[in-house]
Chains A and B, each alone.
Chain A
Amino acid sequence: MKSLILQTASRYLMVLLVIFSVFVLLRGHNEPGGGFVGGLLIAGAFALYALAYEAKEARRLLRLDPRTIIGLGLVTAAGSGLAAVWHGQPFLTGLWLPYPIPFLGKLGTVFFFDLGVYLVVLGTTLLVLFTLEEE
């Protein structure tokens, strides 16, 4: 079931969705959004792409194996917590840079934690989706 319209549309939508998911991830701390929703969004983008073409194409576009992404996400989230331990504070205490960074705003370890959530959600969803589709 290959639809030319869906394929063409998904190619453009893909870019928009990925950008939007990053946007949602970044604004999460102050406005509605965050790692979980962002992760679902980008997973949705790849799911759309996989439906329009096939899972193999989507995998190629993703470059990394979903399993690797899950691992990276877990490590990022846990690592962001360890930063506080390094500074002698309890595990997962949020640490913040004193000055805001252009475009990103105030940056802290909490952001990396959210990034970890984002990656795990993305990886898990795609792992299941791709496996189901390829079967």
Chain B
Amino acid sequence: MPSLGVDLSFALDGLSLTFVLLVSGIGALVLIYSGAYFGEQPGGGRFFAYLLLFMGSMLGLVLSDNVITLFVFWELTSISSYLLIGFHHHTETSRASALKALLVTGAGGLLLLAGLLLMMLAAVQLGSPLEEAGRISALFSVDFRQHPLYLPILILLLLGAFTKSAQVPFHFWLPAAMAAPTPVSAYLHSATMVKAGVYLLARFHPILGGTIQWETLLIGVGVLTMLVGAIMAAGQRDLKRILAYSTISVLGILTTLLGVGTVLAVEAAVVFLVAHAFYKAALFMVAGNIDHETGIRDVTRLGGLRSLMPVTAIAGILASMSKAGTPPMFGFIGKEALYTAKLDIETIGLWLIIVAVLANVLLVAMSLVVAIWPFFGSFRQTPKSPHEAPTSMLLGPVLLAGLGMFVGLIPGAFDRSLGSAMATAILGFPVEMKLKLWHGFSRESVFVMALSGFTLATGFLLFKKLRPWLTRTLELACRLEPWGPGIRRAWQEGRLRHELTCRLEPLGPTRAYEGLLAGVTRSAQGVTRLIQSGYLRRYILITILAAVALVSYPLLHSIQPQLSENAWQLRPHEAVVALLILAGAITTVRARYRLTGVAALGVTGLGMALIFVMFGAPDLAITQVMVETLTVILFVLVFYHLPPFVPRSTRRQRFRDLTISIVAGLLMVFVMLATASIHLEPVLTDFFAQQSLSAAHGRNIVNVILVDFRALDTLGEITVLAVAGFGVYALLRLIASQKGEVEK
């Protein structure tokens, strides 16, 4: 659709390529993994269909070169993720979580669409041709930053990205989405779906980035998300929820880095993004293996699995090491790059480092929880007797965890092939990226190393303290009476941290979301009750009143109807017809029996037909006659089913109805006069009169317009007619079948 600036064009650069590789690579591993995870369960085919649908939309999203196409794929990922999260649709939580994810990301998607449309508008105003205005690769040369619409565009776009990438305060859908089957989390919630927002930020960084607004918004939200994610992660005991919250934290880090936008920061973002994709997908699959084999995901109830599931254990530990940022893993390089990038910034650099260290300490502690609690220590009883998972479920985690170490040892494999290209695409100018595991002894690198070491050490200490510390706080809490019994019971059952987060979680945005959802439903019900009363007379009343109000307002303001000179020159037969119509109308209103009323109404209708004949519209006249006839038959058939007519309306109601009728009638007269007093240029009439015979081979202009010139309209009308007919049929049959049931 070039006239709208929409086309199906695709472009591949470093950024897209990295995402394509992640999406298809991890996707392939997840597909193999799910084969064994679902085994012979019913509905497996449906699962693979959804997963492939998601994969396709995600590939389309990262490859499309048109903003509208991008949006379409964006929404497709939301829809397919809705289907995937809600895969276990028989459970209530699963459905609610899926809906939550859909509503949050869907709402963000709509805002994104608004932002993209504004952007196209601004591009056109800044002089780019319409066909180019939607093409992302052509937008680099447009300078939006000075345009008055820049801030609205930016905010809308960011809202879209933030909802998708689970930034505070929209993060709450991600932990809820852990209701999804684990392969889905491994795929959607590690490297793809949630990174789509980051992709969007990276994609539009060279177009919109680099301004003070961009930096403030991204860094602010990013830092907040980073902290909230890390803190919330520390309060979890469900393996998948720990991973979900730490993903939120990492997404915050990525947003912050893109907000900073220096060369070093972008490089750090690139490394962090890829490293995170590797280890988080691996960890989710490890969590899936544990869940699959033992039947529980609670870290405090797991232990000693290392001898029973050795391969899973190794993969889990390697991936956690990468997550914690220990050398020689890829995650370590990521963390180094992160600190280096933040050191490089003036003024707020120090603060950013402090926050980043804080968040990372928590993340390290939680990675240790994930790596150590399930696998070491003494074995604990679990619902299922665990043994090693099948090969296809080991392939993914082992490969991804191994890849994390491989790239850590030989970073040259990444920075030259993909890293530089990706950073170039994000920055908009060529950069050469060089990653090293060991940076030598310059002052800066020693400082960064010290920071990394400090993070690890503190994280480890925190981990060591975690169990005793929690026990102590809970003893304290148990003494505080108001919290009393619930907490004590929770402690006895070993659910304390769970209980605490359960109490904290609803205080945040989840509560706002639920309140909003309930509010919308309530107000919709209210409006429905108000408008859909179920009484036909009420509907007719509202329709007429609305029509009168809407028509009379512009009419009274713009047009002065004039009576033409010969308005009162009534010919005798015209007068007779007019009287006939009047008589019919009055009889209808005063009729004591329905049949009388309908017959009188028929007289009015036939009078109208006579008028049509007199003023030269035979087509209308014939149709009018036929419609009148059939209407009478229909009425008779309906009346057969109705109880006898009893006037029930009070005097006041009748007076009200009379007033409304008179007003509506007067308005119609007014409209007629107004129409007659406007002299339209007879362009159309002339055109049809000329073309009817020569172009359409017909002399009846009305018919030629219906079946030839405006045939598409007619086709639409007969379709509506058919649908209406079937609607009536369905309603009647429904009533008939209900009656039949009652009689049985």
List of A residues within 8 angstroms of B641 by Cβ: 135
List of A residues within 8 angstroms of B698 by Cβ: 29-30, 110
Any B CB within 8 A of the CB of A22 = no
Asked if B732 and A70 make an inter-chain contact with CB atoms under 8 angstroms apart, the answer reads: no
Asked if B623 and A36 make an inter-chain contact with CB atoms under 8 angstroms apart, the answer reads: yes
Asked if A33 and B626 make an inter-chain contact with CB atoms under 8 angstroms apart, the answer reads: no
List of A residues within 8 angstroms of B149 by Cβ: none
Q: Give B697-739 as 1s and 0s: 1 = Cβ < 8 Å from A's Cβ atoms.
A: 1111011101110011011001101101110110011011000
Asked if A94 and B618 make an inter-chain contact with CB atoms under 8 angstroms apart, the answer reads: no
Any A CB within 8 A of the CB of B507 = no
Any A CB within 8 A of the CB of B742 = no
B610 to chain A, nearest CB (A): 15
CA gap between A131 and B706 in the complex, in Å: 29
List of A residues within 8 angstroms of B630 by Cβ: 40, 43-44, 47, 125, 129
List of A residues within 8 angstroms of B629 by Cβ: 44
CA gap between A121 and B729 in the complex, in Å: 15
CA gap between A46 and B76 in the complex, in Å: 50
CA gap between A46 and B724 in the complex, in Å: 20
Contact of B728 among A34, A47, A117, A128 (CB under 8 A): A128
Asked if A94 and B623 make an inter-chain contact with CB atoms under 8 angstroms apart, the answer reads: no
Asked if A91 and B712 make an inter-chain contact with CB atoms under 8 angstroms apart, the answer reads: yes
Asked if A30 and B718 make an inter-chain contact with CB atoms under 8 angstroms apart, the answer reads: no
| Beta-carbon nearest neighbor of A133 in chain B | B637
Are A29 and B732 CB-contacts (below 8 A) given A113-B707, A129-B637, A135-B641?
no
Contact of A78 among B619, B627, B637, B715 (CB under 8 A): B715
Asked if A121 and B718 make an inter-chain contact with CB atoms under 8 angstroms apart, the answer reads: yes
CA gap between A63 and B633 in the complex, in Å: 22
| Beta-carbon nearest neighbor of B714 in chain A | A117
Asked if A40 and B626 make an inter-chain contact with CB atoms under 8 angstroms apart, the answer reads: yes
List of B residues within 8 angstroms of A31 by Cβ: 699-700
Asked if A120 and B718 make an inter-chain contact with CB atoms under 8 angstroms apart, the answer reads: yes
Number of residues from A at the complex interface, CB < 8 A: 48
For chain B, what secondary structure do more than half of its interface residues adopt (helix, strand, loop), or is it mixed? Answer: helix
Asked if B711 and A132 make an inter-chain contact with CB atoms under 8 angstroms apart, the answer reads: no
| Beta-carbon nearest neighbor of B629 in chain A | A44
Number of residues from B at the complex interface, CB < 8 A: 41
Are A28 and B715 CB-contacts (below 8 A) given A125-B630, A132-B634?
no
CA gap between A29 and B618 in the complex, in Å: 13
CA gap between A112 and B257 in the complex, in Å: 66
Are A73 and B626 CB-contacts (below 8 A) given A28-B703, A29-B700?
no
Asked if B725 and A128 make an inter-chain contact with CB atoms under 8 angstroms apart, the answer reads: yes
Any A CB within 8 A of the CB of B114 = no
List of B residues within 8 angstroms of A96 by Cβ: 697
Are A29 and B722 CB-contacts (below 8 A) given A92-B712, A113-B711, A128-B634?
no
Asked if A124 and B697 make an inter-chain contact with CB atoms under 8 angstroms apart, the answer reads: no
Asked if B633 and A47 make an inter-chain contact with CB atoms under 8 angstroms apart, the answer reads: yes
List of B residues within 8 angstroms of A81 by Cβ: 711-712, 715
CA gap between A117 and B722 in the complex, in Å: 10
Q: Give B607-626 as 1s and 0s: 1 = Cβ < 8 Å from A's Cβ atoms.
A: 00000000000110011001
List of A residues within 8 angstroms of B563 by Cβ: none
Asked if B718 and A73 make an inter-chain contact with CB atoms under 8 angstroms apart, the answer reads: yes
Asked if A33 and B700 make an inter-chain contact with CB atoms under 8 angstroms apart, the answer reads: yes
CA gap between A74 and B733 in the complex, in Å: 23
| Beta-carbon nearest neighbor of A41 in chain B | B626
Contact of B718 among A43, A116, A125, A127 (CB under 8 A): A116
Any B CB within 8 A of the CB of A67 = yes
Asked if A36 and B704 make an inter-chain contact with CB atoms under 8 angstroms apart, the answer reads: no
A90 to chain B, nearest CB (A): 10
Are A67 and B726 CB-contacts (below 8 A) given A33-B703, A96-B697, A125-B630?
yes
Asked if B700 and A70 make an inter-chain contact with CB atoms under 8 angstroms apart, the answer reads: no
Any A CB within 8 A of the CB of B696 = yes
Are A124 and B732 CB-contacts (below 8 A) given A40-B630, A43-B630, A132-B637?
no
List of A residues within 8 angstroms of B711 by Cβ: 81, 92, 94, 110, 113
Are A117 and B707 CB-contacts (below 8 A) given A32-B618, A43-B630?
yes
CA gap between A41 and B629 in the complex, in Å: 10
Asked if B719 and A74 make an inter-chain contact with CB atoms under 8 angstroms apart, the answer reads: yes
B729 to chain A, nearest CB (A): 5
Asked if B724 and A124 make an inter-chain contact with CB atoms under 8 angstroms apart, the answer reads: yes
Any A CB within 8 A of the CB of B684 = no
B594 to chain A, nearest CB (A): 15
Any A CB within 8 A of the CB of B531 = no
CA gap between A133 and B736 in the complex, in Å: 12
CA gap between A74 and B721 in the complex, in Å: 10
List of B residues within 8 angstroms of A113 by Cβ: 707-708, 711, 714-715
Asked if A127 and B703 make an inter-chain contact with CB atoms under 8 angstroms apart, the answer reads: no
A47 to chain B, nearest CB (A): 5
What are 6 A-B contacts defined by CB distance under 8 Å? A30-B698, A32-B700, A73-B722, A113-B714, A124-B724, A135-B641
Which A residues form the contact surface with B (CB < 8 A)? 24, 28-37, 40-41, 43-44, 47, 51, 66-67, 70, 73-74, 77-78, 81, 91-92, 94, 96, 106, 108, 110, 113-114, 116-117, 120-121, 123-125, 127-129, 131-133, 135
Which B residues form the contact surface with A (CB < 8 A)? 618-619, 622-623, 626-627, 629-630, 633-634, 637-638, 641, 696-700, 702-704, 706-708, 711-712, 714-715, 718-719, 721-722, 724-726, 728-729, 732-733, 735-736
Minimum-distance CB pairs A-B, first 8: A124-B725, A40-B626, A32-B618, A29-B698, A30-B699, A120-B718, A92-B711, A132-B637
